[in-house]
Structure 1
Amino acid sequence: MEMNNYMFYSFYKEITLTELMAYILIEYSMMIQKASGNDNFIIEKNTVRENYNEITKNGINSLKKVLDNTNRHLWRCDPTENIPNVTYDVVTRLLQGYIENEVNLNNGASCFQTCEHYQSTTSKGCFDEEFCTEQPKCSGRIHDCQFVDSVLSVYQSPENSTRRYEYIEYGESKSLGTFSNYWSKLNKVESWNRWIFFECSYCFCLCDEQSPKSDRYFNLRETLSDVNANKVVTGVRFVKRNRIFHLQIQQGELLPRGLINESTVEWKQVDNYEIGDSNAKEGVDYHTLTYQNRAIDLDEVTKPDDTTFVVTGVRFQVLDGHINLKVHFSKLDFLKGELVNPEVSNWQTKEHVSKRRQMTLDNLPLPPTSGVFTSSPEWTDYLEFTNTGMLMDVAQSTIPYIDIQDVASIPPVALAGIGIYYKHRGLNGGFVAPQIISYDLSPHLSLIPN
């Protein structure tokens, strides 16, 4: 994370207190000299006071210049090693590579078309107990089919895996995925002819199937800080609970001059509901990613024209099929360190973007899991969760990954906004991650007494 303006303010306070102590010592020494019968030091006193006032004035002006040029955006840098369930989590089995014969993709069990004809269909059956009996059926929609080769050697994944396939060989030394020796199940899949003229081809498609192995849900319930206890949001992070992704908040008690009581800082628990609960409704409590609706907006939400508000809550909404960030703001009394009318609802979003630009993630490999990375936020308007590339990963995984590291400042600070961004290094699937924008102290510096 970058240094935030509260750190500069803390440095300023330390320096100012040191200068104040020096000034008091000088004044005190002159008082002792006067009490001892020496000169009254009137000229010296005036000079010292003028110098101190000038130093204080210059200090505030310098601090203002520094804060004006300080980036208040904070995000987590990449760890030395990316560890599943520690630094990142994943959407699973959203769109996944799936092999199916053309004869099972239409109601007539015919082979009159090509694989490319089947752009959105379902599995209609299992003709003649071919390869379809050797793998779990795709019970959802099947999209974007294409022909690879008439003969495929398919290395299937273990039953407890979220993958279907690990590696596929075809043609002369051609392959999809990365070979390894631990796979135990190999099936040779061959297209076959019907009535000489028509080939019943095996197609490589994408399966969009909701199942217990598919974690594809985003929480839509609001999360507010304990505003009645004068607490504000000080950090955020993604967490996955019961296969549902939540944007969790860190909160702390607001103190005078925008500071935070560090002893009160805590991560507020997310709602512990499950898909299928009677009180959990799709489209109200959670959003389900699908082939048609799998976009997330990459927005930064602030109140740029009003510095009297701080962040007190977050939530996602679904806007035109996109996951869209909303941020709750509450007005504060800066000098008293109190929220003003915290019960008043004030949600902000960037929902009026007229034309969003998409970041495409087609045919990319998985994000790297080791090494030192230096990726920084990359802003477009939105991206779609999608499958990894066929060549590198047999289209078995979902990208981007979700960065689940804490995004919070040390020391904790009040926030002026929150954002969702995409980060990557090189050509890989990358990560979706949150960032925070610290509260701007600059407008209040004139209120700090000399």
Structure 2
Amino acid sequence: MCSSSVVFLILAAMFCESNAGLKDITEITKVYDIGQEIFRVVTASWVRIETKHGKQYTTPQSFIQGSSYETQMVLSRMEEISRRTESLENSLKPSLSDIGRLSMELPDRLRWQSKLDALNAAIHQVMAAMESMSTYSKAMDSSAAEGGVQLEAETLVDFASTVVSHGSDSIRSQLAKIHSLVIPRHKNFGDGGIFKLLLDAAKKDGGNGLCSIHQSPQQLIFNLYNLVTLTEIKGYAMMQFSWMLLKLYNKGNFTLEAELMRERVEARMDEKIQAARTAMGRASQELWVCDPSHHEENETFVQLTNVLQGHIENEVDLNPKGTCRESCGYYQYARVHDCYKDQFCKKQPKCNGRIFDCRFIDSDASVCLSKGGSTHRKYDWIEYENGRTLGRKGTCERGSTKVDSWWRWLFWHCSYCLCLCDEVGLKSDRYFSLHPSLARGVEESFPNSNRAVTGLRFVKVNRVIHLQVQDGEILPGGLINSSTVEWRPIKPFKVTDNNIRRDVDYHIITWEQRAVDLDDLKAPEGSILTGVQLRRIGAHLNLEILTTPFNFTTGKLAHRATSEWISNDNTPAAVTEPRKEIRMYSPDVPTKCPTRSSVVSNHDQYIRFTHSDIDRDVAQTTVPFIDAQPVVPDPHSLLTGAGLFYKGKRNCGGFISLKVMTYDYSKHLHMRDL
């Protein structure tokens, strides 16, 4: 009987010889490429063991003679392969955790949980066995170098026998279990496997559960497929080398078993590919982000301020003659002309802009002015004598102020009106940058960069809201080099700068120009996202995306001259299929809504900025807010589109949010000769 170290050196020498042309870890990162390498290793190893471990070499010791160079490189090569698969495995494991979190939110929770538990247990058992094999390799490497005690032959025989056993805990059984969870044996029983279960659950939920995991449904299925396939490849390699071990220890021939297993694994992988392609073809590529558990301004959201804000004004000051001959409803468009006898108008900030949509609620009221220094609110609450209260009444730091209408000469009632103030000024943040935000690969100053957009977010700088892109280097096979990913710096400006022009550098939100178009924009086939910008179409703010052709195999972008801006130019005035408006009803401050927002809008719609509900918030807040959370796939992915949409709930102001569309890898997923 040969020693355990000699046996492992034999196997490792074959492994090394067949992998003399292995590429560097950065060059092969796809699961299937690793699978092809391992299948070739196994095939070459069996050829070597059949031709050299026979009549010519009667003992393992004689087999290893003359292979001193090979044996010196054995363990380092094996560790290189182990590191390669370990890196990829670690990058895919979060997908399984994401699905586990998802199972707590989606419908059919119990059904989900049982299947995920079974899949998770099987995968971890295969990975644990691989760690044991790696431990044995490291122990042998150390003992061989130090001339120490070798592993016992019985240890390796027992390990190898357990791997290929028909028992329920063997690696053979775990691979069969994983396959049955993906491809059920009885498809006619209405269970299409875990890919289909994930797809159906996501569709049934409307995507609301998926917004918490930072992967599109299609990307999630693809990453789960990769993890399952990588597990099967590693399990297959362990089984093959276990049979080789047993053959070297004269426990049998096992050539036929190895061949049958190869055929079975090839068939299983083909079935998994078909299942993944089918599910991915039906799955959404859209990724958006849920509302956070805790809102923080300028971190999770930004807002416009003092746009169409509730404002109390007596009608005597709403006309240049200082009369009280009309009613509040008469003043649908006006300005503040005076402050009659320095009454309540003297105690509050003046509306220096335009007045809209005045209404009469009651003659007399108690008004709680917001604390001094507040840039967003004028009033915390208003309580009228007729019992109606606007806003959430509580303590008033400055003490409430009595506001009473009065009669003039018994004929005219000088009423206090509640109006909307549209005032452009230092206290009103209402600007959107119209500058493009581009990946470094398409900017004139970086002509040799090969980068694409990997994420988007809104940021507010100097009271101006900007679209910002994240980009990363494109690798062969449509991958992203995660170590290169970064947020591209924006070019901040102030609207008061001399060289900055309205409607060229920025868009300003006003009563007439407060609509935002909600669209899903996708790149042409063969192109990816390389930039975004906001632009004006009439009175509407409109999203536009820059797309650039690229070569999937090489990962190279085409020349920037081939890039194309994509947009939806439809308007509400279109003769056929005009753009439709999304309306909010009694919207409260978005951060005060008790439940998480859901997607409300569809492609080719628009929404207008307006004021919060009068009764809930005294119309003090501009809604909707702007979702400032980064929209970035995890793991990083090429993107083929982007969009703006509205998410909210009834009686909630909601958010204008970004979405991205992840790259469709299913079209590159096909069975190849192994």
Compute the TM-score of the two structures, normalised by the length of structure 2: 0.62
Match of 2:438 in 1: 224
Q: Which amino acid aligns with 2:622?
A: T
Give me the whole-angstrom Cα distance separating, in 2, the residues matched to 1:154 and 1:31. Answer: 87
Among 406, 424, 446, the alignment partner of 2:648 is: 424
Q: Taking structure 1 as reference, are residues 262 and 150 closer, same or farther at Cα in structure 2, changes over 3 Å only?
A: same
What does 1:349-428 align with in structure 2 at a 5 Å threshold? 349-352=567-570, 354=574, 355-369=578-592, 373-380=595-602, 381-428=605-652
Give me the whole-angstrom Cα distance separating, in 2, the residues matched to 1:376 and 1:318. Answer: 27
Provide the secondary structure at the position in 2 that maps to 1:352. coil
Among 523, 527, 542, the alignment partner of 1:309 is: 527
Provide the secondary structure at the position in 1 that maps to 2:221. helix
Q: Taking structure 1 as reference, are residues 51 and 207 closer, same or farther at Cα in structure 2, changes over 3 Å only?
A: same
Q: Is the 8 A contact 2:544 2:566 kept in 1?
A: yes
Q: Is the 8 A contact 1:151 1:171 kept in 2?
A: yes
Total equivalences in the alignment: 447
Q: Taking structure 1 as reference, are residues 20 and 186 closer, same or farther at Cα in structure 2, changes over 3 Å only?
A: closer
Verify: 1:122 aligned to 2:345, yes or no: no
Match of 2:3 in 1: none
Match of 1:154 in 2: 367
What does 1:131-280 align with in structure 2 at a 5 Å threshold? 131-161=344-374, 162-227=376-441, 228-280=448-500
Give me the whole-angstrom Cα distance separating, in 2, the residues matched to 1:339 and 1:55. Answer: 35
Give me the whole-angstrom Cα distance separating, in 2, the residues matched to 1:158 and 1:46. Answer: 80
1:117 offset after TM fit, Å?
0.9
Q: Taking structure 1 as reference, are residues 76 and 30 closer, same or farther at Cα in structure 2, changes over 3 Å only?
A: closer
Q: Taking structure 1 as reference, are residues 145 and 391 closer, same or farther at Cα in structure 2, changes over 3 Å only?
A: same
Query: Deviations for 1:20-59, whole angstroms, at most 9, x for unmatched residues?
Result: 4565677778889999999999877765554444333223
Q: Which amino acid aligns with 1:131?
A: F
Match of 1:63 in 2: 276
1:236 offset after TM fit, Å?
1.0
Q: Taking structure 1 as reference, are residues 43 and 312 closer, same or farther at Cα in structure 2, changes over 3 Å only?
A: same
Going by fraction, where is strand more abundant, 1 or 2? Answer: 1
Larger gyration radius, structure 1 or structure 2? 2
Give me the whole-angstrom Cα distance separating, in 1, the residues matched to 2:639 and 2:299. Answer: 25
Q: Taking structure 1 as reference, are residues 281 and 28 closer, same or farther at Cα in structure 2, changes over 3 Å only?
A: same
Give me the whole-angstrom Cα distance separating, in 2, the residues matched to 1:362 and 1:13. Answer: 45
Q: Is the 8 A contact 2:285 2:662 kept in 1?
A: yes
Q: Is the 8 A contact 1:81 1:370 kept in 2?
A: no
Give me the whole-angstrom Cα distance separating, in 2, the residues matched to 1:28 and 1:180. Answer: 74
Query: Deviations for 1:139-181, whole angstroms, at most 9, x for unmatched residues?
Result: 1110001112222222211231121111212123322112222
Match of 2:309 in 1: 96
Q: Which amino acid aligns with 2:403?
A: V
Give me the whole-angstrom Cα distance separating, in 2, the residues matched to 1:37 and 1:111. Answer: 110
Among 635, 657, 664, the alignment partner of 1:440 is: 664
Match of 1:320 in 2: 538
1:431 offset after TM fit, Å?
1.4
Q: Taking structure 1 as reference, are residues 34 and 160 closer, same or farther at Cα in structure 2, changes over 3 Å only?
A: closer
Query: Deviations for 1:307-353, whole angstroms, at most 9, x for unmatched residues?
Result: 31111111111112111111111111011111111343311111125
Q: Which amino acid aligns with 1:318?
A: R
- Point out the more displaced range, 2-11 or 41-50: 41-50
- Point out the more displaced range, 65-74 or 411-420: 65-74
1:362 offset after TM fit, Å?
4.2
Q: Is the 8 A contact 2:625 2:653 kept in 1?
A: yes
Q: Which amino acid aligns with 1:407?
A: V
Q: Is the 8 A contact 2:584 2:650 kept in 1?
A: no
Give me the whole-angstrom Cα distance separating, in 2, the residues matched to 1:314 and 1:382. Answer: 18
Query: Deviations for 1:184-226, whole angstroms, at most 9, x for unmatched residues?
Result: 1433222222232112222111000011111111111000001
Give me the whole-angstrom Cα distance separating, in 2, the residues matched to 1:401 and 1:312. Answer: 26
Give me the whole-angstrom Cα distance separating, in 1, the residues matched to 2:232 and 2:389. Answer: 71
Q: Is the 8 A contact 1:417 1:438 kept in 2?
A: yes
Q: Which amino acid aligns with 1:77?
A: C
Match of 1:333 in 2: 551
Q: What 5-or-longer segments of structure 1 have no aligned partner?
A: none
Give me the whole-angstrom Cα distance separating, in 1, the residues matched to 2:540 and 2:385. Answer: 40
Going by fraction, where is helix more abundant, 1 or 2? Answer: 2
Give me the whole-angstrom Cα distance separating, in 1, the residues matched to 2:539 and 2:641. Answer: 23
Superposition RMSD on alpha carbons, in Å? 2.7
Q: Which amino acid aligns with 1:446?
A: H
Query: Deviations for 1:382-426, whole angstroms, at most 9, x for unmatched residues?
Result: 111111111111111111112111111111111111111111234
Match of 2:138 in 1: none
Give me the whole-angstrom Cα distance separating, in 2, the residues matched to 1:44 and 1:221. Answer: 64
Query: Deviations for 1:54-82, whole angstroms, at most 9, x for unmatched residues?
Result: 33322321220121132221111122222
1:130 offset after TM fit, Å?
2.3
- Identity across aligned pairs (percent)? 38
Q: Structure 1 stretches (4+) deviating beyond 6 angstroms? A: 25-46
- Point out the more displaced range, 63-72 or 114-123: 63-72
1:366 offset after TM fit, Å?
1.3
Provide the secondary structure at the position in 1 that maps to 2:495. coil
Q: Taking structure 1 as reference, are residues 35 and 387 closer, same or farther at Cα in structure 2, changes over 3 Å only?
A: closer
1:370 offset after TM fit, Å?
7.6
Give me the whole-angstrom Cα distance separating, in 2, the residues matched to 1:329 and 1:38. Answer: 60
Q: What 5-or-longer segments of structure 2 have no aligned partner?
A: 1-210, 442-447
Provide the secondary structure at the position in 1 that maps to 2:292. coil
Give me the whole-angstrom Cα distance separating, in 2, the residues matched to 1:35 and 1:179. Answer: 84
Q: Taking structure 1 as reference, are residues 130 and 256 closer, same or farther at Cα in structure 2, changes over 3 Å only?
A: same
